[in-house]
Amino acid sequence: MYVDTDLANLIGSRICHDLISPIGAIHNGLELLSLSGASSDSPEMTLIAESCASAQEKLKFFRIAFGASNSGTSFTAQSIDEIARSVIERPRLQLNWSITQDLDRSVVQALLLGLLCLETALPQGGQIDIKMAEEQIVLYAYSPDINIDPTLWSRVNFPNKTSSLSPAQVQFAVFPQAIQAAKRSLQMSHTETEIWLSF
């Protein structure tokens, strides 16, 4: 299945844009309730606040990963680290970030999509290292139990394959096209415990 990248990115931007405002309003409402004397540490308020914060973080991530990419726009290394970590990192999956320079939005989009692809190969957790090597982005994933789905990962090297994808796997269709949009070439290799992506 070929993905019309421009159309898909516009749809992603529209969805994220329309959702960020009401979620922000909920967050502001919680702050107003707290200022008015309502208990902010009740289980109900805590659940709402945590869910709202999580939704905001995911929208920031998805807005870049699946939204329209404006060439020339850049992100600081710290902001990319925070955005990626808020969605990808969890107790059993660690991100190690060592990039220090600003990156163009098109490269950041490819980076975040690459992280989503790697995440599917680490169902039992592990670690992902993100670094620069000779102007190339390098994503390295390690886990004692790497799970490579050959049907999914074949799309990374052959983006026009016609195999179907579930919504949770759409990053495998968009990632190689984001690499092309960033004017990069992708190299991939893996073993039973490690995966390398560089572009």
Is 98 exposed, middle or buried, given 0-12, 13-18 or 19+ CB atoms closer than 10 A? exposed
pLDDT band at 110 (very low <50, low <70, confident <90, very high): very high
Amino acid at position 17, single letter: H
For 163, the token pair is 């195999």
Say what the pLDDT of residue 62 is. 87
pTM (two decimals) = 0.82
Condensed to tens digits (0 to 9), the pLDDT of residues 127-151 reads: 999 999 988 999 999 999 899 988 8
Q: Quick one: CA dihedral 116, 66, 85, 110, positive or negative?
A: positive
Which stretch of 49-63, 74-88, 150-164 has the lowest confidence by average pLDDT? 150-164
